[in-house]
A and B are shown apart, each in its own frame.
Chain A
Amino acid sequence: MRKLILPVLLIAIFALMPLIAELVGKNALMTLSARILMYAMAAASLNLILGYGGMVSFGHAAYFGVGAYVVGILYSHWMSEVPVFGLFPGSNQLLVTLPIAMIVSGLAALLIGALSLRTGGVQFIMITLAFAQMIFFLFVSLTAYGGEDGIIIRRANEVPGLNMRDKTTVYYVILVVAVLYFAWMWRVVNSSFGQVLKGIRQNERRMEAMGVATYRYKLYAFVLAGTGAGLAGALMANFLRFTSPDMMHWTKSGEMIIMVILGGLGTFFGPILGAAAFLILEFYLADWTEHWQLALGLILLVVVLFTKGGIMGVIARLKGGRE
């Protein structure tokens, strides 16, 4: 039962956040909390390949951005009543747009992963970065969908029975999706596939010698990670009511990597704590100085040099676990 303490605590904090924000009269806290949830999902999806699978992908923001654009593009077609590619109608229904965002970003990951995973090491880092930049510039040049300015989404997607004009309702929708996503992720990392993935990170050569064609498993993980980032991006588009190429800029990919490392590579709760730490630091440091990135860099340096496994590493040692 002790295993349940952290998840229950996290859900309780996030569920109470809108009330707390209202009590202290700081609406920005709810926004911060929502951003933490969405980035935690994106970071967790990256953690699947980076932490559990040992693949240093430096282009994860691309799938995040693609997910956001799916929501934006479907919305703009729903508004204009012009079919997408002349084939199917747009939509403003969350239960339609989220799955489509996941599928499209998963397909993008399938394509990019199929090519990138033929390489390894530094080449893999560079090629994933290169693909992500290609997608970034593709959307910058897409003037039909706002180009550099992106797409403004006047209203968040509808969910039957809910008033999605209410910010708090949107917040709770995000929370529910995030909880479902993390429950799913828990299953994945403890599944047969998860075990194989952990094996590949530790020793790919050994896995091949046991008859595991590692390429397929890595590609599968890559696609699953892409769908997760797409889901987070689709929520972000709904939350910001806006989508732009900035969401898939390479610095966003870097931020996701930082969140994963900060929280603890290959740990389940690491990405949540990492995203929270990163965004809270950004929130308060940016208030205090415009050179907040310098301070953040120093903190990251300390974490990498001294914690051995990020925030989760510190927690494990405080609990007196092994090592």
Chain B
Amino acid sequence: MTEILRIENLQKRFGGLVATDNVTLDVHTGEIHALIGPNGAGKSTLINQLCGELRQDAGVIHLAGRDISHMPAPERVDLGLGRTFQVTSLLEDFTVVENVGLAVQARDGGNFRIFDRVSGRSSIWEEAGHLLAGSLLDDRRDARVADLSHGEKKQLELVMALATQPRLLLLDEPMAGLGHLESQQMIDTLNGLRGEISMLLVEHDMEAVFALADRISVLVYGQIIMTGTADEVRNDPRVREAYLGTEDA
């Protein structure tokens, strides 16, 4: 089985705090790999190192066999690394279709052109329309993002990440703040992408994790304490301890 992502001995310190402690992890091609752990375990720090916003102190990151450890964030995107943000991070003044259109345009290139008309680049708008037609935002395409509900923004996060045609998608808590129905819709959407796109899913919602993940890694105090299937994780005493605390605590 080939690996789309391989992380070896990744380390990151903030002063005395070891946020990422010798993390070694891989994501198989086509797999949904969940990363869980209590608050403050270093999940977001890890995601930010993977996408290039934070620079690791030591260790290596391979994407589809290429060393991307020292690559700036935009170049990693070109190689097929997509991400969604935990706190939605969108273009609030633009409409939904303008957001998706810009994501397509960013991938498509030709963005130093000053004499064309962006509204005339029909391939962009066709693709944006196509992406939206396959989402729950189809009837909201002309709404301003600032006017969207939280759940709609979460969906848009995902559509924009897909617009860059990633091979590996880093999902930073896509269910955070969603109601039960919205979570279910998000789970269905992600399930629909299974096999097409490999995913590293950071999530607190255990129902979603168990519904989606092929494998689960557990991060505690910056360390991966185990990787396994849903059942293995559920029955592991170390995981229980990390989440529930020891008996005498």
Residues of chain A having any CB pair with chain B under 8 Å: 187-188, 190-196, 198-199, 202-203, 205-214, 217, 220, 224
| Distance A211 CA – B112 CA, assembled complex (angstroms) | 14
Do B113 and A205 touch across chains, with their CB atoms under 8 A apart?
Answer: no
State how many angstroms separate the Cβ of A296 from the closest Cβ of chain B. 30
B117 CB-CB contact with A under 8 Å: yes
Do B91 and A217 touch across chains, with their CB atoms under 8 A apart?
Answer: no
In the complex, which residues of chain B have a beta carbon less than 8 angstroms from the beta carbon of A188? 114
B60 CB-CB contact with A under 8 Å: no
Checking A191, A205, A210, A224 against B107 with a beta-carbon cut-off of 8 angstroms, the contacting residue is A210
Do A209 and B83 touch across chains, with their CB atoms under 8 A apart?
Answer: yes
Do A206 and B121 touch across chains, with their CB atoms under 8 A apart?
Answer: no
Interface centre among A202, A205, A207, A224 (most CB of B within 10 A): A202
A-B contacts, 8 listed (Cβ < 8 Å): A190-B118, A193-B111, A193-B114, A206-B91, A210-B107, A212-B74, A212-B111, A224-B114
Do A192 and B105 touch across chains, with their CB atoms under 8 A apart?
Answer: yes
In the complex, which residues of chain B have a beta carbon less than 8 angstroms from the beta carbon of A207? 106
Checking B83, B90, B106, B115 against A212 with a beta-carbon cut-off of 8 angstroms, the contacting residue is B106
State how many angstroms separate the Cβ of B220 from the closest Cβ of chain A. 27
In the complex, which residues of chain A have a beta carbon less than 8 angstroms from the beta carbon of B113? 191-193
| Distance A224 CA – B74 CA, assembled complex (angstroms) | 23
State how many angstroms separate the Cβ of B88 from the closest Cβ of chain A. 10
| Distance A187 CA – B117 CA, assembled complex (angstroms) | 7
State how many angstroms separate the Cβ of B105 from the closest Cβ of chain A. 6
In the complex, which residues of chain A have a beta carbon less than 8 angstroms from the beta carbon of B101? 195
Checking A187, A205, A210 against B77 with a beta-carbon cut-off of 8 angstroms, the contacting residue is A210
| Distance A102 CA – B15 CA, assembled complex (angstroms) | 49
Closest to B88 in A: A206
Do A211 and B91 touch across chains, with their CB atoms under 8 A apart?
Answer: no
Checking B77, B91, B107, B118 against A203 with a beta-carbon cut-off of 8 angstroms, the contacting residue is B91
Do B118 and A209 touch across chains, with their CB atoms under 8 A apart?
Answer: no
Residues of chain B having any CB pair with chain A under 8 Å: 51, 53, 72-75, 77-78, 83, 85, 89-94, 101-103, 105-107, 110-119, 121, 160, 163-164
In the complex, which residues of chain B have a beta carbon less than 8 angstroms from the beta carbon of A193? 111-114
Beyond the given A192-B121, A199-B91, A199-B102, please list 15 additional residue pairs across the A-B interface where CB-CB is below 8 A: A192-B114, A193-B113, A203-B91, A205-B53, A205-B89, A207-B106, A209-B73, A209-B89, A210-B102, A210-B103, A210-B160, A210-B163, A211-B164, A212-B111, A217-B111
State how many angstroms separate the Cβ of A60 from the closest Cβ of chain B. 19
State how many angstroms separate the Cβ of A134 from the closest Cβ of chain B. 29
In the complex, which residues of chain A have a beta carbon less than 8 angstroms from the beta carbon of B92? 202-203
State how many angstroms separate the Cβ of A298 from the closest Cβ of chain B. 30
State how many angstroms separate the Cβ of B36 from the closest Cβ of chain A. 23
Checking A196, A217, A220 against B102 with a beta-carbon cut-off of 8 angstroms, the contacting residue is A196
Do A196 and B117 touch across chains, with their CB atoms under 8 A apart?
Answer: no
| Distance A206 CA – B117 CA, assembled complex (angstroms) | 23
Do B111 and A187 touch across chains, with their CB atoms under 8 A apart?
Answer: no
Do B115 and A199 touch across chains, with their CB atoms under 8 A apart?
Answer: no
| Distance A203 CA – B106 CA, assembled complex (angstroms) | 14
| Distance A272 CA – B22 CA, assembled complex (angstroms) | 58
Checking B72, B93, B114 against A187 with a beta-carbon cut-off of 8 angstroms, the contacting residue is B114
Closest to A221 in B: B114
Closest to B91 in A: A202
| Distance A145 CA – B114 CA, assembled complex (angstroms) | 36
In the complex, which residues of chain B have a beta carbon less than 8 angstroms from the beta carbon of A199? 91, 94, 102
| Distance A148 CA – B72 CA, assembled complex (angstroms) | 46
Do B94 and A206 touch across chains, with their CB atoms under 8 A apart?
Answer: no
Do B78 and A196 touch across chains, with their CB atoms under 8 A apart?
Answer: no
Closest to B98 in A: A195
| Distance A194 CA – B78 CA, assembled complex (angstroms) | 21
User: Given A190-B119, A194-B114, A207-B106: A213 and B90 within 8 A (CB)?
Assistant: no
Do A195 and B118 touch across chains, with their CB atoms under 8 A apart?
Answer: yes
Closest to B94 in A: A202
In the complex, which residues of chain B have a beta carbon less than 8 angstroms from the beta carbon of A217? 111-112
In the complex, which residues of chain B have a beta carbon less than 8 angstroms from the beta carbon of A192? 105, 110-114, 116, 118, 121
Checking A194, A210, A224 against B106 with a beta-carbon cut-off of 8 angstroms, the contacting residue is A210
User: Given A202-B91, A202-B94, A206-B90: A191 and B74 within 8 A (CB)?
Assistant: no
In the complex, which residues of chain A have a beta carbon less than 8 angstroms from the beta carbon of B119? 190
